[in-house]
Amino acid sequence: MKNQEDFIICRCENIHMSEIEEILQQGADNARELKLKSRAGMGFCASRTCGPFIESLTQDRDETPSYINLKSQPPIRTISMEDFIKEDFHD
């Protein structure tokens, strides 16, 4: 159980600050590594909400600016073949 002072960093993947701190203590020193180890930024919003915060947590830990920023992608929603076919016939 998380304590009351703990807060959610990534709402999409339900990642708490305590989990991020633990990964940082284990040696993660860039945003990409944090993302891969915690899944923060891999949810529906594609790191639009938590990405800037995660990058701000790690930017001072790496002395060289060689780390890779988190990649943002637009959200994708599935569409059924039936809806796809209907749209195709109307055009």
Confidence of residue 75 (pLDDT cuts 50, 70, 90): low
The confidence score (pLDDT) of residue 68 equals 53
The contacts of residue 50 (CB under 8 Å, 6+ apart) are 9, 10, 11, 12, 15, 40, 41
Give this prediction's pTM: 0.57
> What's the whole-number mean pLDDT along residues 15-43?
87
Judged on CB neighbours under 10 Å (0-12, 13-18, 19+), 82 is: exposed
The confidence score (pLDDT) of residue 45 equals 83
Name the residue ranges covered by the structural domains of the chain: 8-90
Q: Which CATH architecture has domain 8-90?
A: Orthogonal Bundle (1.10)
Query: What would the pLDDT profile of 45-64 be if each residue is shown by its tens digit?
Result: 888 888 888 888 877 554 54
